[in-house]
Amino acid sequence: MANLPGAEDSTVVFRDQSIVSEKLQKFIQSGISNFQIVADFDYTMTSWAPSGTCFSVIRMYSGFGEEFLSKTEAIKNKHLPIHLDFSLPEEVRKESDYQWFTKIMTCFVDAKFPKTLIPVMLEASQCRLRAGVVEFLKLAHKHNIPVLIFSGGIKDVIDALLDREGCYFDNISIISNRLKYDDKEIMVGVEEPFITASTKLEVAREDIYFKNVIRDNVLLLGDMLSDLKMASCVKYTDMLSVAFCNHDKDKEQYRENFDMLLMGNPGFERVTELLRQIVGEQPNRVEL
């Protein structure tokens, strides 16, 4: 039986340790040729504090002026509480997410920024990868494990961040919102279908990735309950789901749905320990 990283760590919470250990053992026995990784991006691969999302990289860029900043902040303040309120009906949250997305995109179009400004905006932002993400991605690349980043953020920003950190490897695929540019490379819109946290399942049903990559075992990484939908269109036998639980108030609800919770604002060390066991790069052990 495989032993679990963080089994005696109070910041690591399991739904059922024995079941998680059994899944991990199955992954090890099945081998890496039968294994894939599906991960959210904002607040999963990026840090909760200092905070920054793909959208905030552009939304909070001071070069656009005070009027732009005030307008986009007001839009966020209206829709974010709805986005985080899981007690609301799903359709209410889905419609609010859509309105939030389209309003913000209209502001971005009005800013008329060039594609070349994205790395500049990224550098000025607080958007950072969690500690250990680069090592995790290097390990997956070393063993040629498919990694899908499935995000309701902005692919152009994800591309720029991974490029900056030197970890945009050829085993990584990204499904996210793609900005559109005119012949002068000025941002003029976003390609459809729009991807929000609420529409990942609908988008996944149509994306060719899920038809081409078929592996029985899936490690799913997210920070919201809706991230569990990312694997709904993956043909798999077993899934080990890990949540970066950024809000203590969500702990019990997340515990009921995810196999493993990482509390607070941790790095990727525990997830990398899981991956090292799966690829056979470290002996099983109880304490890490």
Encode pLDDT of 126-169 as tens digits.
999 999 999 999 999 999 999 999 999 999 999 999 999 999 99
Which residue in 191, 110, 122 sits closest to 158, CA to CA?
Answer: 122
80-102 CB burial, b ≥16 within 10 A, e <16: eebbeeeeeeeeebbebbeebbe
CB 90 within 8 A of CB 198: yes
Angle in degrees, CA 219, 6, 220, rounded to 5: 10
Give the ranges where 31-89 is alpha helix by DSSP (H): 54-59, 66-84
pLDDT at 247: 73
Sorted by sequence, the CB contacts under 8 Å of residue 227 that are 6+ apart come out as 40, 44, 197, 200, 220, 221, 243
Q: Is the pLDDT of residue 1 over 70?
A: no
**Whether the predicted pLDDT of 29 surpasses 70:** yes
Q: Which of 230, 242, 227 is nearest to 5 (CA)?
A: 242
For residue range 252-272, what is the model confidence (pLDDT) as tens digits? Answer: 888 999 999 999 889 999 999
* Token output for 68: 């732009």
Can you point out the beta strands (E) in 82-163? 147-154
CA 140 and chain centroid, separation: 16
Query: Vertex 268, ends 163 and 213: CA angle to 5°?
Result: 65
Q: Measure the CA–CA gap between 60 and 126, rounded to whole angstroms.
A: 10
In the prediction, which pLDDT does 286 show?
A: 33
- Percent of the chain scoring above 90 in pLDDT: 69
**How confident is the model at residue 287, as a pLDDT?**
37
Q: If pLDDT is split at 50, 70 and 90, which confidence band does 48 have? A: confident
Lookup: tokens for 201 = 């399942």
Q: How do residues 178-214 score in pLDDT, each as one tens digit?
A: 999 999 999 999 999 899 887 877 776 667 777 777 7
Per-residue pLDDT, averaged over 84-91, amounts to 87
Burial 268-281 (b: 16+ CB within 10 A, else e): bbbbbbbbbbbbee
pLDDT value of residue 2: 61
What was the pLDDT predicted at 3?
A: 62
User: Looking at residue 285, what is its pLDDT?
Assistant: 45
Establish how many alpha carbons lie within 13 A of residue 10's alpha carbon, considering only the half-sphere containing its beta carbon: 1
What's the pLDDT at 197? Answer: 80
Q: What's the pLDDT at 288?
A: 32
What integer best gives the mean pLDDT of the chain? 89
Q: How far apart are CA 214 and CA 194, in angstroms?
A: 25
CA atoms within 13 A of residue 198's CA, in its CB half-sphere: 19
Q: How much is the average pLDDT of 172-180?
A: 95
